[in-house]
Amino acid sequence: MQDLTRGSIYKHLFNMSMPIAFGLLVQTLYFIVDLYFVGHLGDVALAGVSTAGNLFFFVMALTQVFNVGCATLVAHAIGRKDPLHASAVYSHALFYGIAASLIVSVFGYLFGHHYFSVLAATEAIGSTGLTYLYWFVPSLAMQFILTVVSASMRGSGLVKPFMIIQMAALFLNILLSPILITGMGIFSGMGVAGAGFASSIAACSAVVMGIIYIKRTPNILQLNKQKVTPNTQIFKSILKIGGPAGSEFMLTFFYIAMIYWALSQFGADEQAGFGLGSRIMQALFLPVMAIAFAAPAIAAQNYAANKMKRVYTTYKVTTIATTSLMFVLALPCILFPEFFFTPFSNDPAVIAVAATFLSYVGFNFVPAGLLFSYSAMFQAFGNTWPALLSTFMRVGIFSVLLIYCVAQTPMAITTIWILSAATVFFQAILSFALIQSTLKKRLLTRAKITT
């Protein structure tokens, strides 16, 4: 465990964000690796895997409940110098993580076909996506266990070992993907099924490596095996903090599903291009997301320790870092977006859609950086409802406008990207007002407590 209430904020943020960045890179590269090899199977395969990949956001919405809830509660406990409660949160949360893994597996296999019947542009895309999903479900299920462990450790200030574990799993995925997708030697390959199978093997291996590391390392946040049981109070606390954050990701899943629904009016090239473009955009966001994921643990420990000056410093440094990085990343996306996509597809139509998408959304990178910073502070305070409110407003406005535009014929595909960029700017303005109000209230409350 690490005490983040002392020492340089800049150093803590850097030391924690670097391994988190690698961990996030691993999660994204699971899809990037699959897209690289699947992209050469054709636009139907690429569209099917991309559409199925959106379900990862649905699972991330559920795992985000544990990701934010566990990290914040553990960080608060460490800030109060209460390691026993931190261990209790970790142990009880693991029970719910295991239960969620089983539930998602059952739902994925029983109801996955309904998802593709609504969003797939063609029957071939739906069939391809469903094949990939059936082999990918174990990877989705393992995310709950991995999230509970890594988030609890992150709240205690430990991130590097689990970054290494995830990197090892990634290398395994990279090794298996070309073999299972395209074949090697006497093995003919499994196509898109091989892509899902490779990711599932890698995710399961990460869980096994995590278990081995925890058993062999005594000086970390300890798992109390007797407390890997239901606990209503801790579960409510996790839901209270992580529920709104998870709902944010659920809204993101709905938002992307709405785009796939709109693109189903066009065809396979458009769905494949958007899927490719959105994955590359997520990869570009990784360094910014790493900072935003590291900041809550730092701010939360200092908030629990009543060191409000350090909390405000964390907020200021995080905001400057996220917006500066986003500005730098936006420039190549706007100026020469085609550069990012040629390795993944040789279809000019798919590349054109992906490049156009990235060139438009590049204009909302800076406000997105602000949103990452604001969300980090809401998590640190243990009040993620304002972030949920702003996301709900953005997705709601976007969905209403999109439905209206789809009803108008003909609709240009660029209309979707314009609506997306405009509503992100709106969310950034609303979130700024909410974070300023929250900061004033929290600082004033803490000041009264100390006096």
CB 398 within 8 A of CB 423: yes
- Given pLDDT bands bounded at 50, 70 and 90, which one contains residue 327? very high
Residue 220 pLDDT exceeds 80: no
Q: How far apart are CA 228 and CA 95, in angstroms?
A: 5
CB 443 within 8 A of CB 308: yes
Question: Which of 239-243, 343-347, 374-378 has the lowest average pLDDT?
Answer: 343-347
Q: How far apart are CA 287 and CA 44, in angstroms?
A: 31
More confident residue, 190 or 370: 370
Question: Which of 338-352, 370-384, 407-421 has the lowest average pLDDT?
Answer: 338-352
pLDDT at 294: 83
Fill in the amino acid letter for 38: V
pLDDT at 270: 84
Give pLDDT tens digits for 172-197: 888 888 888 887 776 778 888 888 89
**Tokens 């090239």 sit at which residue?**
269
- Express the helix, strand and coil content of the chain in percent, nearest 5 each: 85, 0, 15
Give pLDDT tens digits for 67-117: 888 888 888 888 788 888 888 888 899 999 999 999 999 988 988 888 888
pLDDT at 27: 62
Report the pLDDT averaged over residues 10-28.
71
Report the pLDDT averaged over residues 218-231.
83
CA dist list (Å): 291 to 10, 149, 295, 320, 366: 11, 19, 6, 11, 14
Residue 448 pLDDT exceeds 70: no
Q: How high is the mean pLDDT of the chain?
A: 83
Q: Could you tell me how far CA 323 lies from the centroid of its own chain?
A: 19
pLDDT at 445: 62
Count of CB atoms situated within 10 Å of the CB of 208 = 12
Report the pLDDT averaged over residues 309-337.
91
pLDDT at 34: 66
Q: How far apart are CA 165 and CA 120, in angstroms?
A: 35
pLDDT at 451: 44
Report the pLDDT averaged over residues 345-352.
82
Report the pLDDT averaged over residues 31-40.
70
